C-alpha cells in the first residue's frame, strides 16, 4: 500500500510537473508567436516604407524626364527655327555661321563631352551649354559675320556636351527606373527617349508657327504660281546652283541686313527677342527644377565613365571606335543627320518652294513636326511588344518608298496633298531614327554612355555636314543617290548588330570586358 501510495504520489507529482512543463511550453509558444508577429509587422512596415520610397523615386524620375524635355522644347523651338531661317534672313553671313557651327560641332564631339561631363557633371553641363546657345540667339540682333560666326562656334562647341549630358542623364535614370519598376532597362530607355522626342519634335510645329506669324504680318497675298516650264526644273531635276547664281546678284545690293525683298528689321528683332527669351527660360528650368544624378541612389555611383582618368577622357570618343559595334552603327548614325538635313534643306527647296512657293514651307514642316512628335511617343509601346527590329525595318521601308516617289514625282500645285503626305511620312520615319538610334546606343554600350553618345553626335553632325556640303554643289538626283548609299549601308550594319546580339553579344574576355576590334584581329583575348 505504501509503495502504492508512493507510486501514486510520484505519478501525481509527475503529472503536475508534466502539466507545468506543458504550460511553460505554451507560454514560450505564445512568446514566439508574438515575436514572429512583431517581425512580420516590422517587415510589412519596412516593405510598405520601401514601396512608398520607390513610388516617390519613380515620380521624381518622371518629373526630371519632363523637366529635361520641357527645357529642350523651349531651347530648340528657338534654335531650330532661327537656324532654318539663316539662309533667308542672313543669306551670306548666316550660311557662313552655320558652316562654322558644324565644324566646331565635329571638333566638340571628338574632344569635349567626356571631359566636360567629368568636370561639371550632367546638370551644370546642360545649363552652361544652353547659355552658349543663347549667345547665338542674341547675335541675331546684330546679324553680321563678326557677331554670327564667333557665337556659332561657341554654340557648336557646346552642342556635343549638351547632348551627351542629356543622353547620359536619361540613360542612367532609365536604368534606375527599370530597377524600381522591375522592367527591362531597354524598354524604359526607349520609353523615356520617346517622351523626350515627343517634346523635341514639337519644336518644329511651335517654331514654324512663331516665325510664320511674325513674318506674315503686313504681307499681302501676291504670290503667283510657277509656270509649267519652271515646274519641269523642280523636284528630282532641281539644281540649287542655278538659284545661288541668281542670288549672288541680289546679295551685292544688300547692306546692313536691309534686304530689298526681305522682311523688315522689326520682324527680325521680334523673332530674335522671342527666341532669346525661350533659350534663357530653358536654362532656368534646368537650373531651378532638375535634380542632379546624385539625388538618385545606385545611379551616380562608379561607372566606367567616372573611373576614366582625365587624360583618357579626351581619347574616350576615339577609343570607343574599337568597340565591335561602333563601326557597324556609324553609317546609320550618319544617315540620321543626312535625312534630317535633306528634308529641311533640299525637299523644302526642290519640291515645296519650287512647286508651291516659299510661303508653304512652314506648313509642310508643321505637318512633318506633328507626325514626328506623335510617332516618337507612339513607337515606344510598339518596341515593347514587337521589339526593335520590326520598328527599324518599318522606318527603312518608309524611307525607301519616299525616295522612290521623289525620283518619279514631279511636284505641281495641283498635287497639294502629296506635299503633306511625303513630309508626314518622312516625319514618321524620322521619329524611329531619333528615338531608336538614341536608345540603341544606350542599350548596346552599357557603362560607356559619355563616349558612346559623343560618338553618336559626332557621326550625326558629320551627316549634317555632308548633306549641307552636297546641298551647295550637287543636284537633287545626286543627293538622292547619297541618301540611298547611307541608308542601305546603315541598315546593313544595324542588322549585323542585331544578329550578334541574338548570338549572345560581342565576344568578351575572362573578366567580362568586350574584346576590341584590334584585339580580335591580333587574336588577343
The DSSP-derived string for 10-38 is: HHHHHHHHHHHHHHHHHHHHHHHHHHHHH
SS3 call for 386? helix
Closest CA to 345 of 482, 468, 190, 221: 468
Distance of CA 495 to CAs 328, 398, 448, Å? 9, 17, 22
Q: Is the dihedral angle over the CA atoms 365, 65, 78, 214 positive or is it negative?
A: positive
- Residue 27 Cα distances to 22, 32, 38, 414, 486, angstroms: 9, 9, 16, 95, 80
Residue 488, H or E segment:
helix 476-502
d(CA 423, CA 405): 12
What pLDDT shows up at residue 452? 83
Q: Is the dihedral of CA 157, 158, 159, 164 positive or negative?
A: positive
| Sign of the CA dihedral with 191 first, then 79, 448, and 522 last | positive
Give the C-alpha separation, 234 to 241, whole Å.
13
355: Cβ–Cβ under 8 A, 6 or more apart, which residues? 226, 231, 234, 235, 411, 412, 413, 415, 419
Task: List the pLDDT tens digit at each of the 525 positions of the chain.
Answer: 444 443 343 434 444 444 445 455 555 555 565 665 655 565 555 555 577 888 888 899 999 999 999 999 999 999 988 877 776 566 567 767 877 888 888 888 777 888 888 889 999 999 999 999 999 999 999 888 899 999 999 999 999 899 989 988 998 898 889 888 888 887 888 889 888 988 987 887 888 888 777 777 765 554 556 667 777 788 888 886 666 555 555 444 444 444 444 567 888 899 899 999 999 999 999 999 999 988 887 666 544 444 444 446 557 777 878 888 889 999 999 999 999 989 887 888 788 878 887 677 778 888 888 898 888 878 878 888 888 899 999 999 999 999 999 999 989 888 889 999 999 999 999 999 988 998 888 888 887 777 788 788 788 888 988 887 777 778 899 999 999 999 999 999 999 999 988 887 777 666 666 666 656 666 655
508 phi and psi, to 5 degrees?
-125, 155
Residues 6+ apart with CB under 8 A from 91: 247, 251, 254, 259
Question: What is the separation of C-alpha 350 from the centre of its chain, rounded to a whole number of angstroms?
Answer: 28
Residue 366: closest CA among 84, 137, 94, 134: 84
pLDDT at residue 34, rounded to an integer: 61
φ/ψ of 514, rounded to 5, equals -65, 130
Region for residue 6 given its phi and psi (left: phi exceeds 0; alpha: psi -120 to 50; beta: otherwise): alpha
Q: If one looks up domain 61-218+232-247+261-301+312-522 in CATH, what number appears?
A: 1.20.1250.20
Determine the 3-state secondary structure of 514 from DSSP. Answer: strand
Share in percent of the chain as helix, strand, coil (round to 5): 85, 0, 15
Beta bridge partners of 514: 508
User: Is there a contact between 371 and 425 (Cβ–Cβ < 8 Å)?
Assistant: yes
Find, among 157, 160, 156, 155, the residue nearest to 138 by Cα: 155
Amino acid at each position: 500500500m505504501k509503495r502504492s501510495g508512493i507510486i501514486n504520489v510520484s505519478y501525481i507529482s509527475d503529472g503536475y510537473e508534466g502539466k507545468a512543463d506543458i504550460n511553460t511550453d505554451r507560454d514560450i509558444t505564445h512568446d514566439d508567436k508574438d515575436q514572429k508577429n512583431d517581425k512580420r509587422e516590422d517587415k510589412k512596415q519596412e516593405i510598405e516604407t520601401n514601396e512608398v520610397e520607390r513610388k516617390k523615386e519613380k515620380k521624381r524620375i518622371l518629373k526630371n524626364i519632363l523637366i529635361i524635355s520641357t527645357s529642350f522644347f523651349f531651347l530648340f523651338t528657338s534654335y531650330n527655327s532661327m537656324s532654318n531661317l539663316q539662309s533667308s534672313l542672313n543669306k551670306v553671313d548666316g550660311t557662313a555661321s552655320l558652316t562654322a557651327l558644324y565644324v566646331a560641332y565635329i571638333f566638340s564631339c571628338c574632344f569635349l563631352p567626356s571631359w566636360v561631363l567629368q568636370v561639371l557633371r550632367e546638370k551644370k553641363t546642360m545649363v552652361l551649354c544652353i547659355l552658349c546657345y543663347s549667345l547665338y540667339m542674341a547675335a541675331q540682333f546684330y546679324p553680321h559675320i563678326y557677331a554670327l560666326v564667333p557665337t556659332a562656334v561657341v554654340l557648336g562647341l557646346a552642342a556635343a556636351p549638351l547632348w551627351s549630358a542629356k543622353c547620359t542623364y536619361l540613360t542612367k535614370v532609365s536604368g534606375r527606373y527599370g530597377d524600381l519598376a522591375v522592367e527591362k532597362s531597354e524598354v524604359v530607355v526607349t520609353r523615356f527617349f520617346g517622351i523626350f522626342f515627343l517634346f523635341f519634335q514639337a519644336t518644329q510645329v511651335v517654331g514654324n508657327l512663331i516665325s510664320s506669324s511674325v513674318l506674315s504680318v503686313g504681307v499681302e497675298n501676291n504670290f503667283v504660281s510657277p509656270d509649267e516650264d519652271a515646274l519641269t526644273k523642280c523636284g528630282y531635276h532641281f539644281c540649287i546652283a542655278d538659284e545661288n547664281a541668281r542670288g549672288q546678284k541680289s546679295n551685292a545690293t544688300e547692306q546692313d541686313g536691309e534686304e530689298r525683298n526681305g522682311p523688315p528689321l522689326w520682324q527680325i528683332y521680334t523673332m530674335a527677342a522671342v527666341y532669346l527669351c525661350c533659350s534663357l527660360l530653358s536654362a532656368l528650368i534646368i537650373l531651378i527644377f532638375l535634380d542632379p544624378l546624385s539625388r538618385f541612389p545606385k545611379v551616380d555611383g562608379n561607372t566606367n565613365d567616372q573611373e576614366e582618368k582625365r587624360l583618357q577622357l579626351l581619347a574616350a570618343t576615339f577609343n570607343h571606335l574599337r568597340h565591335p559595334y561602333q563601326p557597324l552603327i556609324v553609317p546609320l548614325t550618319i544617315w540620321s543627320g543626312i535625312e534630317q538635313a535633306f528634308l529641311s534643306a533640299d525637299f523644302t527647296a526642290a519640291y515645296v518652294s519650287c512647286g508651291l512657293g516659299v510661303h508653304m514651307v512652314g506648313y509642310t514642316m508643321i505637318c512633318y513636326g506633328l507626325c514626328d512628335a506623335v510617332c516618337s511617343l507612339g513607337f515606344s509601346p510598339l518596341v515593347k511588344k514587337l521589339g526593335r527590329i520590326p520598328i527599324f525595318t518599318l522606318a527603312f521601308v518608309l524611307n525607301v518608298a519616299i525616295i522612290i516617289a521623289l525620283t518619279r514625282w514631279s511636284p505641281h500645285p495641283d498635287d497639294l496633298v502629296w506635299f503633306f503626305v511625303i513630309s508626314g511620312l518622312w516625319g514618321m520615319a524620322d521619329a524611329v531614327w531619333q528615338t531608336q538610334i538614341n536608345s540603341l546606343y544606350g542599350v548596346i554600350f552599357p557603362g560607356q554612355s559619355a563616349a558612346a553618345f559623343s560618338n553618336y553626335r559626332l557621326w550625326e553632325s558629320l551627316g549634317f555636314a555632308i548633306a549641307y556640303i552636297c546641298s551647295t554643289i550637287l543636284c537633287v538626283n545626286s543627293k538622292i543617290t547619297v541618301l540611298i548609299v547611307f541608308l542601305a549601308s546603315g541598315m546593313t550594319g544595324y542588322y549585323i548588330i542585331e544578329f550578334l546580339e541574338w548570338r549572345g553579344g560581342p565576344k568578351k574576355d575572362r573578366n567580362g570586358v568586350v574584346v576590341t576590334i584590334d584585339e580580335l584581329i591580333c587574336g588577343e583575348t
